[in-house]
Every structure is written in structure tokens, then in C-alpha cells.
Amino acid sequence: MEIILKEDIDKLGSKDDIVKVRDGYARNFLIPTGAAIMATESAKKIHAENLRQRAHKEDKILADAQVIADKLVNVKLSIGAKAGENGKIFGSVNTIQIAEALTKAGFEIDRKHITMQEDAIKELGTYEATVKLHRKISQKVSFDVVGE
């Protein structure tokens, strides 16, 4: 079944994408929760018109995201954590701490838009996280986990 997504859904698509999913997934989850609508001919026409009207707004948003991505290239974050003598951290570093460090550096980025290769960092060192600024633009940010 073809559906039009009304919001971003991980591993499926972004808002306003037309995707094919299994009938049960669409009827039992996506449509009742308001995450998608059925892609009928009239819905596709309305969708196309809405996309056309938003095209110039999208260009401005994309340009703004690119400016932020260019500024993030040179940013080096430092995240403090209590650690033992062997370099192991008490607890872990996750996207919440990275978002807070980015806020201190002057970037308002939601933690949901930050991903790391590891689920949680448990040792001191230098790591990288990916910040998704737009569906087409993402930027890698390196950060150091230092002992306090």
C-alpha cells in the first residue's frame, strides 16, 4: 500500500515522502496514529500542490542548515565525566551530554538529531557524533571525553 508520511519515521522515510509499506502496518499503526495518510489520487494531487508551494521555503531552510553545518566543522567539544584511574567513566556519555555541549557552544540542536556509532561511551578519548540538521545535510562533530 502506498502512503504519504506526515512525519519523519526512522528507517521508513521523511515527512512528505510517498512510500510503500505492508497493508497491516499502514492500517493498524501508521494511519490510526496520524503518522501517515493513504496515497489516493486526490491525496497525491493535494500533496503535490503543497510541495510546490513549500519549495521556496525549503530552499531557505536548506541554506540555513548548510550555514550551521559549515560552522560545526570547526567545533571541538569537550565533555567532562568522572572517571577512574584506568580511564573508565562512572556512567556513560550519550547524546544528551553532546546536545548540552553544543548548546554551550552556541548551537541549539535537539538530542534526537544526534547519533553516535556506539550506544553509550564508557571510556575517556576522542569520538565522533553525527548531527542531522536537515534530511539532506548532516555533519560529523568530534568531541573529547575528559576526566574531571
| CATH architecture for residues 2-69 | 3-Layer(aba) Sandwich (3.40)
Range 76-87 burial, b when 16+ CB lie within 10 A, else e: ebebebebeeee
Q: What pLDDT band is residue 4 in, cutting at 50, 70 and 90?
A: very high
Asked whether residue 21 carries a pLDDT value surpassing 90, the answer given is yes
The residue ranges of every structural domain in the chain are: 2-69, 72-147
For residue 39, what pLDDT band results from cuts at 50, 70 and 90? very high
- What CATH number belongs to 72-147? 3.10.430.100
- Pairing state between β 121-123 and 88-93: antiparallel
Residues 18/44, Cβ–Cβ less than 8 Å: yes
Specify the pTM.
0.63
Predicted confidence at residue 87, as pLDDT, reads 81
